[in-house]
Amino acid sequence: MKRNNKPKMQLILSYSKGRVLMKKEVLNTPNNIIKGKIEIDSQINKLYYRILYNIQKENRKYIIKSKKGDKITEEQSNMLKELDRIGYLKCTVSYDEIKSIIKRRNDQIKEEVLKRFIALQTAVFRFTTGEENNEETQTQLIGEVSVSDIGYSVSLSAKLYRYLFYSVGVGFTPVNLVVLFNLKSQYSQALYVTLRSWTGVKREIEYSIEELRSIFKVGSKYSAYKNFKQKTISVAINEINATGAMNILELKEIKNGRSVDRVIFIVEDLEPRFVLEESKGDTEDKYVIWLDYIKLESEDLKERLELKYADMNLESPIVKSLFHKAYDKTLNKDNSFTMIQDKKGKTNFALFNFIVNGEILTNELSLENHF
């Protein structure tokens, strides 16, 4: 790989159909990167996403299936302890998968492919994991790599696996590593990863103060909300907004009596969500986008909604805001849904329409002015 004379770490993490969508250079190594004088381009980033996908796919027994906010069972707790004991998880990246990532034939030879793996081995990441002792860990993005007749066997730190997967709930949220690496505060890292896990689903993300204290792992520190907000939430919001990848537009505080009990983050996610192309059986749910970010299961459902609300001006910002609120509330009511659906045995379509009607009455929209 080509090197510049000046050491730098370059990570390009968002791309679509070979076109770079976001590029950012890190010239001064931030505190949470121990070393990494290597270029990590979009191709190597795609390789890393493939490794993360295969790690999860080949270690399904360590996937904890529960809704966000649910307490884990004793069996699930034992599973996490086992992850800590084994140290590393492994997966195989096949030769066909390598060819799908590295298109140039001359770069598909073993020596060139290993250079890509070395780039990931060279970058070391520091993060805080300790649920009990506020433990800080630093580890390579990947560990040992070996070559066989079936492909490349790659190991990944089990603690890093927990941080990238379990700390934000079930499944893989494709966090932008360049953003994560540039967030110096552990609170900023934790909030970015947490919000990123929801922004593909909804725009208003609500947490209790106790949930945030758990996410930030502050223990008994900052017991007064004013101090907690100043030391953690405000720091995180300022750092995240400075990245240009996500805007936390507003922080709404909800009081219980005189004390702030919950907060709502209103978030605008500015970066594309990378999705791996998978074979049949491993594909993610298909959906269509309606009114900026509302996910619907199909074009047919979109047509039904547009017919149902044909008398409304769907281009009006006020009307859009009404539907956005109804969408967020619908998904908050039952977080087993990630979109509006109307399938036999799995539907939230009627609930969505009920909430839309409630929003219309609440806001007392004028039919003449806005519909």
Segments forming the whole domain that contains residue 316: 288-370
Q: Is residue 30 part of a domain?
A: no
How distant, in Å, are the alpha carbons of 51, 61, 111, 165 from that of 57?
Answer: 10, 9, 27, 12
Length in residues, the chain: 371
Mean pLDDT value across the chain? 74
Q: Is residue 141 part of a domain?
A: yes
Q: Where does residue 275 fall: left (phi above 0), alpha (psi -120 to 50 degrees), or beta otherwise?
A: beta
For residue 111, name the pLDDT band (cuts at 50, 70, 90).
very high
- The more confident residue out of 299 and 113 is 113
- Cα gap 202→263, rounded to integer Å: 15
Name the domain boundary from 203, 237, 269.
269
The verdict on 260 and 355 lying in the same domain is no
Structure tokens, 22: 């976001």
The verdict on 345 and 241 lying in the same domain is no
Mean of pLDDT values over 185-202: 78
Lowest mean pLDDT among 3-17, 128-142, 229-243: 3-17
> Which backbone phi and psi does 209 adopt, to 5 degrees?
-65, -35
The end-to-end CA distance of the chain, in Å, is 58
Q: Is residue 35 part of a domain?
A: no
Structure tokens, 365: 């929209």
Name the domain boundary from 235, 269, 303.
269
Cβ atoms of 309 and 266 within 8 Å: the answer is no
Mean of pLDDT values over 71-83: 79
The verdict on 73 and 160 lying in the same domain is yes
What is the CATH number for 244? 1.10.10.10
Mean of pLDDT values over 140-155: 93
Mean of pLDDT values over 325-330: 87
The verdict on 190 and 165 lying in the same domain is no
> pTM for this structure?
0.46
The verdict on 106 and 220 lying in the same domain is no
Structure confidence by residue, pLDDT tens digits, 34-50 = 323 334 565 776 788 78
The verdict on 134 and 224 lying in the same domain is no
Structure confidence by residue, pLDDT tens digits, 156-184 = 998 888 777 665 443 444 556 556 666 77
The verdict on 76 and 163 lying in the same domain is yes
The verdict on 155 and 190 lying in the same domain is no
The verdict on 195 and 94 lying in the same domain is no
Task: Find the largest Cα–Cα distance for the chain.
Answer: 70
For residue 59, name the pLDDT band (cuts at 50, 70, 90).
confident
pLDDT of residue 260: 94
DSSP state of 167: G
How distant, in Å, are the alpha carbons of 49, 60, 68, 171, 185 from that of 65?
Answer: 21, 10, 9, 9, 29
The verdict on 152 and 224 lying in the same domain is no
pLDDT at 95 over 90: yes
Q: Is residue 29 part of a domain?
A: no
Cβ atoms of 58 and 282 within 8 Å: the answer is no
Structure tokens, 129: 């994991």
Q: Is residue 334 part of a domain?
A: yes
Cβ atoms of 264 and 251 within 8 Å: the answer is yes
pLDDT of residue 283: 40
- Cα gap 268→291, rounded to integer Å: 14
The verdict on 207 and 301 lying in the same domain is no
Q: Is residue 257 part of a domain?
A: yes
Q: Is residue 160 part of a domain?
A: yes
For residue 369, name the pLDDT band (cuts at 50, 70, 90).
very low
The verdict on 163 and 55 lying in the same domain is yes
pLDDT at 124 over 80: no
Cβ atoms of 239 and 188 within 8 Å: the answer is yes
pLDDT of residue 342: 87
* Pairing mode of beta strands 9-16, 19-26: antiparallel
Name the domain boundary from 120, 143, 169.
169
DSSP state of 340: B
DSSP state of 38: S
Count of domains for the chain: 3
Q: Is residue 282 part of a domain?
A: no
Lowest mean pLDDT among 83-92, 166-175, 200-209: 166-175
For residue 100, name the pLDDT band (cuts at 50, 70, 90).
confident
